[in-house]
Chain A
Amino acid sequence: MSTILRLGLIWVFSSLIVDIQSLAILSAVSYVILGMLSVIIFRYEYKQLARIR
């Protein structure tokens, strides 16, 4: 099931990427989303540390 999902995701991305501009936009958007997500994870980890304190 997960393999099918991954293959599906690759298929979606390959249909989205048609030129260098779309590749750049996709990479940039993924960096922005992952950057935001990482801040949320950092806050969670810091709260865990504060709880141990």
Chain B
Amino acid sequence: MSIVRTIKVVFSSIKPIILAFFYVGIFASGSSLVNGICLSILSGLSAKISPDTLAAYSVVMRIEVIFMLLISGIGVSIVTGTASSIGKKDFDAVWRVSIVGVLFATIVVGFTGYLVVTNSHWLLKVISVPENIQAISERYLSIICWSYPFMALLFLVYLLVKALAGLNYFL
């Protein structure tokens, strides 16, 4: 009887924490779901144009994944800095860390994207992409590169809002 009571007491104390995890987790998993579906739809649409377009799109998508790794590397440190500032109740530092981090990462990703595009011919040759697909990849990269800073902005703010929204709920 006492064990049941202990379990009830423990569960009642951890219930709000579990609910908060669900609250944060549902949105996090929902965004991954939407992202996956959108990517598969875009791949399908590019396959509809021609198989070469799909191949070129896939090559550039892998290059974009490298940018994502760069963004998440910077993003994780920004989220840690923001969360620790909230823990210290230093709300001005939250704003400072967020703005400086987001601007720094956006500039770094924008500059790296520019370098990738200006050297795309050499880069795609190194990874031995066939010539007809290389031409399509270069054309795609030359347009999409201008949106890379916005992509960095989007993913960093996504990480930050996850931290801020979750912490709002906990506070």
**A35 close to B164 (CB less than 8 A):** no
A35 CA / B140 CA spacing, docked (Å): 20
Count of A interface residues, CB-CB < 8 Å:
30
Q: Interface residues of B: mostly helix, strand, loop or mixed?
A: helix
Interface residues of A (CB under 8 A from B): 10, 13-14, 17-21, 23-25, 27-29, 31-32, 34-36, 38-39, 41-42, 45-46, 48-50, 52-53
15 pairs of residues in contact across A and B, judged by CB atoms under 8 Å: A14-B45, A20-B53, A20-B136, A20-B139, A24-B143, A28-B146, A31-B148, A34-B150, A35-B151, A35-B154, A38-B153, A38-B158, A42-B160, A42-B161, A49-B94
Task: Give the CA-CA distance A46 to B140 in the complex, in Å.
Answer: 36
Which residue in A17, A25, A49, A50 is a CB contact (below 8 Å) of B49? A17
| Complex alpha-carbon distance, A19 and B53, angstroms | 8
Closest 7 CB pairs of A and B: A35-B150, A24-B143, A28-B147, A38-B157, A31-B147, A35-B153, A45-B164
Chain B residues close to A by CB (< 8 Å)? 41-42, 45-46, 48-49, 53, 56-57, 86, 89, 91, 94-95, 98, 136, 139-140, 143-144, 146-151, 153-154, 157-158, 160-161, 164-165, 167-168, 171
Determine the chain B residues whose CB is within 8 A of the CB of A25 once the complex forms: 143
